Amino acid sequence: MLSVKNLKVCYGKIEALKDVSFEVPKGKIVTLIGANGAGKTTTLRAISGLEKVTSGTITFKDRDITNLDAHKIVPLGISHVPEGRKIFPTLTVKENLELAGWTIRDKAEVRRRMEEVYDIFPRIRERANQLGGTLSGGEQQMLAVGRALVTGGELLLLDEPSMGLAPVLVDEIFNQIVAINKRGITVLLVEQNASEALDIADYAYILEVGYTTISGEAKAIAEDQRVREAYLGV
């Protein structure tokens, strides 16, 4: 569904990504694992069009989307939950969700999807009229995922959904990711929390200082001695 080939992204003279290649097959959960600064966030930002690509190609559903504007990529079917959630703090929860339906002409469909989000995350329904900035970290994460569901992408990019959350919430978020995947949405998950990510993923890629180095089925990766030492702390 998504294919990234020899991706290179530079910030000025610094090469954030040097040579990143991976595939995300339809219906699967794929995870990118790597240390801070390995280029995980940059990879996702390049896919959703927030970052300009220096060279390489990104193909989504057989269409070249390299360097397409972000607002043109969204309606093609990619939803990106960014690092740090990026909830609009002075918009209400409801307004945050409504804006996620910006590219959808049929507003009844937007309302239907919002209801769906409220069903998945009852906490978000309770907070519908509160300002986004007043939500707790866990609720903000739910809202961020909720926005992506309203956007309605077939491919969901998740950047560190567990960051800064209490362990009990981390489990809940990961359960929700699995549930969302079961509804037919393909997931590309970026995580520092490697063990949880490998638990739910089908495939995994290890990203090291701008390169994809190790790849394979998540179960095999979890057994790999190098990965166990570097990322799983065993």
- For 53-154, where are the E strands, in sequence order? 55-60, 63-64, 78-81
CB of residue 159 to other proteins, shortest distance in Å = 11
Shortest distance (Å) from residue 194 CB to other proteins: 25
Pick the closer one to other proteins by CB: 82 or 216. 82
Minimal distance in Å, beta carbon 32 to other proteins? 18
Report the candidate in 130, 136, 161, 137 with the shortest Cα–Cα distance to residue 148: 161
d(CA 146, CA 1): 22
Beta strands per DSSP E along 12-90: 14-24, 29-33, 55-60, 63-64, 78-81
| H/E element, 43 | helix 40-47
Residue numbers of the site for other proteins (CB under 8 A)? 48-50, 69-71, 74-75, 79-80, 82, 86-91, 95, 98-100, 102-103, 147, 151
C-beta of residue 214 within 8 angstroms of C-beta of residue 46: no
Q: In whole angstroms, how close is the CB of 98 to other proteins at the nearest point?
A: 7
Residue 48 or 66: which CB sits closer to other proteins? 48
- Tell me whether residue 16 or residue 198 sits nearer to other proteins (CB atom): 16
When the beta carbons of 71 and 112 are compared against other proteins, the nearer one is 71
Could you give the CA distance from residue 52 to residue 66 in angstroms, rounded to a whole number? 8
Local structure of 22: helix, strand or coil:
strand
Residue whose CB is less far from other proteins, 100 or 180: 100
Task: Tell me the closest approach of the beta carbon of residue 29 to other proteins, in angstroms.
Answer: 20
